[in-house]
Amino acid sequence: MQIFQDFGALIESRWRKENYNELIFPELAAAALTESNLPAQVDPWEIIRWVQGADSLPDQKDAEGRFGDPPITLYAGPRFYVDVYFWLDGTTSIHQHAFTGAFQVLLGSSIHSRYSFNEKKLINEHFCTGEIKLEEVQLLQLNDVRLIKPGRNFIHSLFHLDRPSATITVRTEHTPSSALQWDYRKPYFASNPFYRNQVMAKKLQTIGLLLGMKHKDADTMIGDLICASDFQTAYFALEAFFHSTKNNQMDSLFGLSTGNDRVQQILARARDAHGELVDLVVPVFEEQIRQQDIIQRRSTITSDEHRFFLALLLNVPDREKILELVQQRFPETDPVEKILDWVEELSQTRVLGSKEGNALGLEGFGDDHIFVLEYLLRGKSLGEIRQLIQSDEFQRFAALGDQLETIAGALQNSPLFKTMLCWA
């Protein structure tokens, strides 16, 4: 498309005058995106029509479509290129980049989260432990522009709210000083997702075989593998085992103990071999399960507002920030009241293919739950909520007193609400 050829030529000219200095490229690209205002001039669907009717295209940097649904290169220069990424669903991947540039929202909206990582222990050049901390969450909408900086200066995730969404990305090929493009697994691990080792791969594949066929010696054999391996291999073996066996009630039919018992036994063996590093893995796996649970619920929900709410619960582990983002998107409403409306609606919604009674995964959800949730969202402690139900204004909830801790605990421990209410 000619408009992107002109846009790429503009950046090429400006960057060449700066001797292709990569340090200034993010700001240069962001300025060009803001100045050119491409979202006002480009219909995203014209890009699709152009691709379908083209006899030839610029060199497609991701011809296999690994990053985007699809990714389309619209300008390919000697040192940078311009892509448009279409997205059908969001992603929770937290990552950094081995290139520089900038991106702009062309279609839809996104939750953009920035993180920091305090490295504690370098296991090897492809795997390390540390502490992942959420630094900032923003709601990005049409025309918004953000810089892409290399390495740990820019650890982020971009969760696309609308289906589809699209972003224009201006990026360099590669930044040698930030050679690795790490992925992060909350709250403790970082790994190189592009690292390939045939020996490790085959060992992990044997775990899939043993668990898939319910081999009677599966746990012993996998435990032996974990104990004999380096910690990186052990971590991925534990991950495969944890996700396959957690709460798998079918195990008893094959002469095996329940999933939780099996996990604890494997963890004990792993701890003997690898020490305190193993204590970090369970919080990581539990966060993965929490995310998978919410993603599964969101995948069957059609309401845009409900999908927005579930996206917040998935990505934003902070009550006040969730309220702020709800207020930003719906400025005319009380954010707590808006959330309560969504929760009540979801309590009356079934998840396709699930045996649960509602999309919240909370059986017996009713007015008492709504009452407790409201005041937890408003920052009240359980003691303060107990005082409220003893007042004349809330006399109708007086009978709630004996069940207050139970209801609050169910809310705070549910996959949907646990991070939002973790302070309470």
Q: pLDDT (tens digit, 9 = 90+) per residue, 12-42? A: 999 999 999 999 999 999 999 999 999 999 9
Residue 418 lies in a domain: no
Do 186 and 213 belong to one domain?
A: no
What's 350's DSSP letter?
P
For β-strands 165-172 and 189-191, DSSP reports them as unpaired
Number of domains, the chain? 3
Do 211 and 124 belong to one domain?
A: no
Instruction: Provide the β-strand partners of residue 86.
Output: 166
Percentage with pLDDT > 90 across the chain? 61
Residue 424 lies in a domain: no
- For residue 183, the domain's CATH number is 2.60.120.10
What's 397's DSSP letter?
G
More confident: 64 or 141 = 141
User: Average pLDDT, stretch 289-298?
Assistant: 86
Rounded Cα gap, residues 411 and 414, in angstroms: 5
pLDDT of residue 400: 79
Domain that residue 329 falls in? 300-413
CA-to-CA separations, 123 to 184, 277, 298, in angstroms, rounded: 14, 10, 35
Residue 292 lies in a domain: no
pLDDT of residue 139: 92
pLDDT of residue 163: 82
Do 15 and 154 belong to one domain?
A: yes
More confident: 73 or 299 = 73
Do 32 and 145 belong to one domain?
A: yes
Percentage with pLDDT > 70 across the chain? 94
User: Average pLDDT, stretch 78-94?
Assistant: 87
Do 185 and 209 belong to one domain?
A: no
| Residue 249 pLDDT > 70 | no
Rounded Cα gap, residues 95 and 191, in angstroms: 10
Long-range contacts of 344-348 (CB under 8 A, 24+ apart): 344/370, 345/303, 345/306, 346/301, 346/306, 346/309
Residue 326 lies in a domain: yes
Residue 294 lies in a domain: no
Residue 381 lies in a domain: yes
Rounded Cα gap, residues 202 and 49, in angstroms: 43
Do 82 and 125 belong to one domain?
A: yes
Do 112 and 213 belong to one domain?
A: no
Provide the edge-to-edge strand list for the sheet that holds 165-172. Answer: 71-76, 80-87, 165-172, 101-107, 145-148
pLDDT of residue 254: 41
| Residue 331 pLDDT > 70 | yes
pTM score of the predicted model:
0.85
Residue 287 lies in a domain: no
Least confident of 7-11, 221-225, 356-360: 356-360
pLDDT of residue 186: 94
Q: How much is the mean pLDDT over the chain?
A: 89
Domain end marker among 130, 158, 191 = 191
Q: For 147-186, what is each residue's pLDDT tens digit?
A: 999 889 899 998 888 888 999 999 998 877 766 789 999 9
Q: How far is CA 219 from the centre of its chain?
A: 30
